[in-house]
Structure 1
């Protein structure tokens, strides 16, 4: 896939994810990791995660990007309201802080890309897709952990952690 196609794919996925995260939505707990896992797999499958001309530096940057993705995903998860309905279904909704957290996530990714280019590291566009996938995996994992502390069913108790 070309860089332009990857950027368009990421923008499309990001737009859909943002729209879904800002509205109250039921979480399908059995399938919540599917999209992030697919994004990571697609990003890795595209290759080019490591610049062979700067292997050590690009591996270091890849580790930093993965760590940033995990932290930023956790940060976004913390901004989301999470609750169970009386029938036991899990719901979540983001708000203004979720938008701010996404803006920070995008700014960090652009900053890391700028650092890589300034250091002469040139990787493939699969990094962009993989970064989004790692970030969403972290976000959903934190939401999953938070959901375990919610009453299982019948209470309709709302939590805003």
Structure 2
């Protein structure tokens, strides 16, 4: 697969576990595709709005990083965003068992415990502590139930 023109589509929910060393295994069905697309190289960083981590295949992260670097660096909000996303980003490589080791500072940011939720969201994964994701998901459902017929939802077709 030519990773300069192709992309990978990440989707679905997986429930890996975090071991005592701070590693978790990516789903086995995704490993060959990740090996072809990005040589099993990933980049992990914090989510600036939620207590979770964002995990990108390296080629997709490089696109995000280029966009961040193209923003006006004299803008204090841009610098803060760059510091949060790029400054805390870490390179990951799948080991022979399909696991990645998460830096402890990033595990702390997401308050990860043993049970995890890994969601594919197109060009990236979100990694959540399973209990935190369940609470967040319940809150989202409650919010959705309280929405009126806004323009955005009226135009949505599933």
Give 1 or 2: higher helix fraction: 1
Give 1 or 2: higher strand fraction: 2
TM norm structure 2? 0.27
Larger relative contact order (CA 8 Å, sep ≥ 6): 1
TM norm structure 1? 0.26
